[in-house]
Chains A and B, each alone.
Chain A
Amino acid sequence: NAGVTQTPKFRILKIGQSMTLQCTQDMNHNYMYWYRQDPGMGLKLIYYSVGAGITDKGEVPNGYNVSRSTTEDFPLRLELAAPSQTSVYFCASRNRDGYTFGSGTRLTVV
């Protein structure tokens, strides 16, 4: 059982470039989330989804987009990358028993 799989693990982007962070889960969880975590800080919710076809903004959605066409996949799109988006990104899924997090994507924008 793989759980939540994120790719890539590391990425360096130049300012203005775009990329998609991939996230897939094999636990059939309806709820999925994207968080960012800056050094020494807690988790900031970017977007979340309560099921296929349904997404909603979190605390810090600006500069990001998401889609949820299937239960398994919840990609996060960065358009026009900025240095402020340098962070570690965690995808997670949830059922009643709690969250399962992916291993994270460390993104640097230069």
Chain B
Amino acid sequence: AQSVSQHNHHVILSEAASLELGCNYSYGGTVNLFWYVQYPGQHLQLLLKYFSGDPLVKGIKGFEAEFIKSKFSFNLRKPSVQWSDTAEYFCAVNQPNAGKSTFGDGTTLTVKP
């Protein structure tokens, strides 16, 4: 069965620090990759996605992610975080045309002002 690992459970950063959240998946074939964000008390929202093409994808609010096929990874990055980035971040993977995605357990990001 496909699995998704988010190694960092809780990350604490100061404003303006750089961010990298790890995501690794287990499936060796073609995959679609996503990052979702959940702000406190809210529902999950799509941050960015990768299907094919340029492995560096840019999403909303200055976030980007890089797909490295050889490492089965899709890490999320942001050069300079803000207090408003405090949220939980979920990585998700699915095979094209699959009925459902597999979500990681999430990483809680706390940004100190």
Interface residues of A in 40-80 (CB under 8 A from B): 40-43, 45, 48, 50, 56, 58
Select one of B43, B99, B101, B106 contacting A101, CB under 8 A: B43
Is the pair A42, B99 in contact by a Cβ cutoff of 8 Å? no
Residue among A40, A41, A48, A99 making CB contact with B92, cutoff 8 Å: A99
Query: 23 A-B pairs, CB-CB below 8 angstroms?
Result: A31-B100, A41-B105, A42-B90, A42-B103, A42-B104, A42-B105, A43-B106, A48-B99, A58-B100, A92-B44, A94-B100, A94-B101, A96-B32, A96-B51, A98-B36, A99-B36, A99-B46, A99-B101, A101-B44, A101-B45, A102-B43, A103-B43, A104-B43
A104 to B40, CA, bound (A): 13
Q: Which residue of A lies closest to B107 (CB)?
A: A42
Contacts of A96 in B (CB 8 A): 32, 51
- Are B44 and A90 in contact (CB-based, < 8 A)? yes
Bound CA–CA A48/B94 (angstroms): 15
> What 9 A-B pairs have minimum CB-CB distances, sorted nearest first?
A42-B105, A101-B43, A98-B46, A101-B44, A42-B106, A50-B99, A43-B103, A103-B43, A98-B34
- Give the CA-CA distance A48 to B92 in the complex, in Å: 16
New contact pairs (8) apart from A41-B105, A90-B44, A101-B44, CB-CB < 8 Å: A42-B103, A42-B104, A43-B44, A43-B106, A48-B100, A94-B101, A96-B51, A99-B101
